[in-house]
Structure 1
Amino acid sequence: MKYGIEFKPKAIKDLQSLPKQIQGKILEKVQLMENDLVGDVKKLTNFTPEYRLRVGNYRVLFEIENENIVIYRVKPRDKAYQ
C-alpha cells in the first residue's frame, strides 16, 4: 500500500534540532515507509500517537490517517514516551 507522508510542525521542529547525519537517517527510514510499513515499526498500546518507528536512539511517533502517515514527533528514546 502506498502512503503519503505528512510532518506536523512539532515534528519538523524536532527534526531540525537534530544533527544533519541523524536527520538524514530518519528521513531515509520514513521514506521507506511510503510503500509499506518497513523497518522497526511497532504499534503502541495505550499511547497516542499509535505507532513508533525506531531509528537508532530516536523514535518517530506517528499515526496512519486516510492512507497518510502523519508524523507527530521525533524524539530521543528517553524523552519519546513522556
Structure 2
Amino acid sequence: RILEAIEKIPRGDIKKLNGKKLDNIYRLRIGKYRVVYQANEENITIVKVDTRGDVYK
C-alpha cells in the first residue's frame, strides 16, 4: 500500500513542511502512515516512513 502511494505522489495528500532546515521536504499521508521525502527536479529521496505519531520525532 505504501509503495503504491509513493508511485502516485503527484496525486497524493501532500503537504510541504515548514522550517529552516526543511528545504524541499514534503509529507505524504497514507492512512495512519506518513512518508517524509525530499524532492528536487530530478529525484525524490525518501527520508522516513513511520506512523503519524512517530514520523516527526
Aligned length: 55
- Alignment partners' CA distance in 2, 1:38 and 1:31: 9
Determine which structure has greater relative contact order: mean sequence separation of CA pairs < 8 Å that are 6+ residues apart, divided by chain length: 1
Say which SS state the counterpart of residue 67 (structure 1) adopts: coil
Give the TM-score normalised by the residue count of structure 2: 0.83
* Aligned equivalent of 2:44: 69
CA-atom RMSD in angstroms: 1.6
- Alignment partners' CA distance in 1, 2:55 and 2:39: 18
* Aligned equivalent of 1:57: 32
Give the TM-score normalised by the residue count of structure 1: 0.60
- Alignment partners' CA distance in 1, 2:38 and 2:46: 7
Say which SS state the counterpart of residue 79 (structure 1) adopts: coil
- Alignment partners' CA distance in 2, 1:66 and 1:44: 18
Higher strand share: 2
* Aligned equivalent of 1:31: 7
Say whether residues 1:43 and 2:12 are aligned partners. Answer: no
Higher helix share: 1
Tell me how far 1:65 sits from its aligned partner: 2.9
- What fraction of aligned residue pairs are identical, expressed as a percent? 42
Larger Rg: 1
